[in-house]
Amino acid sequence: MTAPVVSPPGLPLDVGPEPDWDYLALHGLDRAALLLRFPLGVDWHSLRSCRHPGCDRPASSAPWLCQRCLAGWRRAGAPADVDGWCVATPAPPVRRTYAERWCRVGCERTAEASGLCKGCARERLTRGLTVEQYLASGVRPRPSFGPCLVRVCPRTAVMRRTQLCNPHQRQWSKAGRPERGAWALTAAAVYTAIDEVPLGDLPPTVVVQVLRGYEAQLRQGGRISPGQIKSAVRWLCDHAVKDLVDADLPPKGGTTTYLRVWQRTLPLLDADPTTEHTRSLIRLSVLNRRYKGGTVDLRDVQAPWLTHLAQQYVLHLAAAGASPARLNTVGYAARWFAMFLRTLTGEGRRPSDVGRLGLLAYLRWLAQRARDTDDYRQLGDGDPTRPVIAERLLPALQGKGPLLVSPQRHCQLVSTLRDILEHGRSWLAENQAADVHLLERDVPPWPERDDTDSELEGRSQDALPETVFLQLMDEQHLALLPDGTRRNYIELTMRVGRRPWEIRHLEFDCLEWHDLDIEDPDGTVRRRSYPFLVYWMQKVRRRHKLPLHPSDAEVITRQQEYLRAAYPHRFTNLGRPRFGRMLLFPTPRLSRANASGERPYDSSSVGYWLATWLDQADVLDEHNQPLAPGRVFAYAFRHTYAQLRADAGVPLEILQVLMAHQDPSTTQVYYRVSHPRRIQAVRAIAAKFQFDLTGGRIRARSPQDDLADRVRAGVGSVPVPAGQCHEMNNVRADGRGCPVYYRCFSCTFYTTDFTHLPELRQLRAGKAEQLATLEAAYGSALTPGPLTATNLDLLRLEIKQIDELVAKCEADIGSLTQDERRTVESWLHSKDKLFTVIPVAAVLAGRQRLQQPTLDPILLGGAPS
């Protein structure tokens, strides 16, 4: 006998804009049963198959066991080897779905585990028969009790008297057995399966809204959580929501997360991008799909002409793909100007009533608001004057407190208002308001940063002082970061000094080891293995190799082990990633786009990590004051990387390779030559022993001269091999305008001292090797011409000159006191510390470029031609 098919009521089609039914049918919608199903083995939801090999039930979260297996695993003490527990544990019973099987006798009722309906099973037990004996006894099929009285329930009734299914029978009894007809009209559907969500107990309008939001969420590439869907539907049922768009949802809470997303999405689905800019609250995601959210609020701009110009300029910027921050500045500029217009007669509703004089008055008024901002910041929260000043500032539309006019914001507001008026200049001219404009000189200058401390200390503006960097690298502070991606990311960023984008897009297999032949000072050659970081430089679109210290490689290895433990399904049994483009720091977001771990964290996530870390860490600045959090950001570690190596005496050409710069002048931007240790620890000693090329002494500096030299450091000279160049044309050209073609050892503008002794010795060894090679070649097989002979003589002269400089430096060191010699030797040792851990051969090996790949590893597009 064929079992009857229970068909819940279908969905009406006259409930407004419909979703794409075919698309939803491919993503779990059973329209006849009005049910969302989430089959296993697809990538658009978060359910997975249970890890137990004999279980066919779904699992919703780690350790990826179904509810039945998870309960058994916990009873066993939650062993760490989940797969081993699964192999040693018998498989649970086969999963049964309601109405999947009907009574074997032929009753129009669903079967239990025995294959008989409840009535037949009870009679079989009473008679003491087996199932086969009971079937052979010639029993007659029992009639059905009809469908469950609850309108949204697809089950059959279990009692003729109540006409309710088992779950609703229990619910009705718990409710005090009210009148069944009225109760059945309001009873909710039964939610028993983790991979099914019924929608039949929602109003038709809400069903369509839920499905449209569900479809939009799927099309954005998100991985749907069936548990979140079920929680959202239950909340709508419990609160009897008639329209999701107008529903009063709680501002936070996991139960209504999807509802808030759908509520924001539904108005955008019906929005018209061609007319969105005419609204007073402009939604950026409607103007341009590249924007994920955000609005430009013009609701308190009372002047129609100003609103029109601002709307047109927002449309222009959105079409050009400007940043959301710039678009928001348009709204702020229009609102501040509208606040000033309200002080005029007629509130400036016509542009001709404002004119050029009105704009000049606005500039003076806004400057006064900037002064009010300074006063507001200096006053305490309990000061009675503070609320009075706050009334003169623009109130914030959201949050507490007024909007402040900082020096940077002052410049932005005036500049943006000028751009708004310039963009609508023709419209203003047509409306007899051509004099409503601002000139370039009306825009206040952008405030310069106060970099006095960094210049006096001889470091880059964004580089952190060495004392601060060492505090951040201390294990006590690093331990405040959560183990895993967050700590490994920040520690690796501080160590390697790469750009934030490059760190976020590091591939899983970014660590390589190469064997290099390294020559020791005694002349012996040893083959050693050195780690290299291989990464993609998006700025120049090529790969680069960076030599690492073994401790840097340990951080990368630690992150790789963390990923293997956190995401075992992404790796093979040998620990290799299943997907070649897996990142070292993939976002944990569950989405189809990130199924293989190839999506990086957002840049804002890194800023949040640093901010929360610094809130916990007790870090002091160079003045023993609490460190300002704004000084620590991701790119500051790149400046610090360059500054610390410049402090260690790394030559410019080597530092250029480490920073992966094509031009040495770019590298010089990242550090200051006169660093604190050289100024404070060595300058007092070396000042008495500085000399020029002829060996002549340079007069000793007084403390006042020394302070002035610290201020001028890095400005009146440029670094050259083993010294400094003071020729002003070359200084103005950042070291690229040498009038003697970089023959420093024959130039009177060249100065040096014993702090450059290691570089002098290295240069001397290199030139001596070059001379020996040339002499051997021309002495045996070739005859040198006049030009070659001159070059050989010049090379010998340079070696002689360097020998004299080395002898002068060694004599100066020998004349020092014991304490001074100890200080200088410590300094000279610090200059070589980079080459102790990373030899020059390893650094230069990283200079070799890899071949341009045929596919960009980040953008999945062809390599640029």
List, for residues 244-296, the tens digit of each pLDDT value.
988 999 988 888 999 999 988 888 887 888 888 899 999 888 888 788 778 89
Res 839 pLDDT > 50: no
pLDDT of residue 362: 94
Q: What is the DSSP letter of 602?
A: P
pLDDT of residue 735: 66
> Read out DSSP for 376-400?
HHHS-TT-THHHHHHHTSEEPSSSS
Query: Among 589, 573, 568, 593, which Cα is nearest to 581's?
Result: 593
Please say whether the beta carbons of 757 and 686 come within 8 A. Answer: no
> Read out DSSP for 149-182?
SSTT--SBPS-TTT---HHHHHHHHHTT---HHH
Give the number of residues written for the chain: 865
Output 521 or 367, whichever has higher pLDDT: 367
For residue 579, the Cα-to-chain-centroid distance in whole angstroms is 22
Whole-angstrom distance, CA of residue 791 vs CA of residue 39: 80
CB count in 10 Å sphere of residue 819: 9
Query: Among 109, 112, 102, which Cα is nearest to 142's?
Result: 109
Question: 36-89 pLDDT, tens per residue?
Answer: 989 888 888 888 889 898 888 898 888 889 888 999 999 998 888 888 899 899
Res 12 pLDDT > 60: no
Question: 89-112 pLDDT, tens per residue?
Answer: 988 877 766 555 778 888 888 787
> Rounded mean pLDDT of 515-537?
75
Cβ contacts of 624-629, under 8 Å, gap ≥ 24:
627/468
Quickly state the pLDDT bin for 847 (edges 50, 70, 90).
Answer: very low
Output 677 or 217, whichever has higher pLDDT: 217
* CA distance to 55, 96, 137, 144, 747, per residue, from 114 (Å): 20, 12, 16, 19, 102
CB count in 10 Å sphere of residue 304: 11
**% of the chain exceeding 70 in pLDDT:** 82
Please say whether the beta carbons of 454 and 426 come within 8 A. Answer: no
Q: What is the DSSP letter of 404?
A: P
Query: Among 118, 122, 115, 170, which Cα is nearest to 148's?
Result: 170
How high does pLDDT run on average in the chain?
79
Question: 334-352 pLDDT, tens per residue?
Answer: 999 999 999 998 888 999 8
pLDDT of residue 426: 93
pLDDT of residue 147: 84
Domain-by-domain residue ranges, the chain?
48-94, 98-144, 148-192, 196-269, 276-442, 465-629, 675-831
Rounding to the nearest 10 degrees, give the CA dihedral for residues 538, 544, 545, 548: -30
Whole-angstrom distance, CA of residue 222 vs CA of residue 595: 11
Strand ranges for 10-99 from DSSP E: 29-30, 35-37, 48-49, 58-59
pLDDT of residue 630: 84
Whole-angstrom distance, CA of residue 569 vs CA of residue 591: 15
Whole-angstrom distance, CA of residue 505 vs CA of residue 554: 19
Whole-angstrom distance, CA of residue 278 vs CA of residue 304: 11
pLDDT of residue 859: 28
Output 89 or 664, whichever has higher pLDDT: 89
> What CATH topology corresponds to 465-629?
hpI Integrase; Chain A (1.10.443)
pLDDT of residue 805: 83
pLDDT of residue 855: 28
Whole-angstrom distance, CA of residue 640 vs CA of residue 449: 18
**% of the chain exceeding 90 in pLDDT:** 20
Q: What is the DSSP letter of 815?
A: T
> Read out DSSP for 436-494?
----GGGSPPPPPP--HHHHHHT--SSPPPHHHHHHHTSHHHHTTSPTTHHHHHHHHHH
pLDDT of residue 267: 84
pLDDT of residue 345: 86
> How far does the chain reach from its first CA to its final CA, in angstroms?
70
Q: For 87-107, b where at least 16 C-beta lie within 10 A, e where not — what string? A: eeeeebeeeeebbeebbbbbb
Phi-psi region at 445: left, alpha or beta (left = phi > 0; alpha = psi -120 to 50): beta
Whole-angstrom distance, CA of residue 731 vs CA of residue 632: 31
> Rounded mean pLDDT of 112-126?
84
Res 422 pLDDT > 50: yes
> Rounded mean pLDDT of 345-370?
91
pLDDT of residue 523: 57
Whole-angstrom distance, CA of residue 757 vs CA of residue 827: 11
Type and span of the H or E element at 515: strand 511-519
pLDDT of residue 827: 58
Query: Among 205, 216, 203, 210, which Cα is nearest to 228's?
Result: 210
Q: What are phi and psi of 12, to 5 degrees?
A: -60, 155
> Rounded mean pLDDT of 407-431?
93
Question: At what angle are helices 324-341 and 304-320 packed, to 10 degrees?
Answer: 170
- Residue type (1 letter), 365: W
- For residue 12, the SS3 value is coil
Whole-angstrom distance, CA of residue 783 vs CA of residue 268: 82
Quickly state the pLDDT bin for 416 (edges 50, 70, 90).
Answer: very high
Please say whether the beta carbons of 414 and 441 come within 8 A. Answer: no
pLDDT of residue 681: 45
Output 639 or 687, whichever has higher pLDDT: 639
pLDDT of residue 183: 87
pLDDT of residue 673: 57
Q: What are phi and psi of 333, to 5 degrees?
A: -65, -40
pTM given for the model: 0.50
Whole-angstrom distance, CA of residue 278 vs CA of residue 777: 80
Question: Strand 48-49 vs strand 35-37: parallel, antiparallel, or unpaired?
Answer: unpaired
> Rounded mean pLDDT of 451-457?
46
Q: Mean pLDDT lowest for which of 619-628, 692-701, 748-757?
A: 692-701
Res 845 pLDDT > 90: no
Question: 538-574 pLDDT, tens per residue?
Answer: 777 788 888 888 888 999 999 999 999 888 888 888 8
> Rounded mean pLDDT of 166-178?
87
Output 190 or 528, whichever has higher pLDDT: 528
pLDDT of residue 428: 93
> Rounded mean pLDDT of 834-840?
39
Output 502 or 713, whichever has higher pLDDT: 502
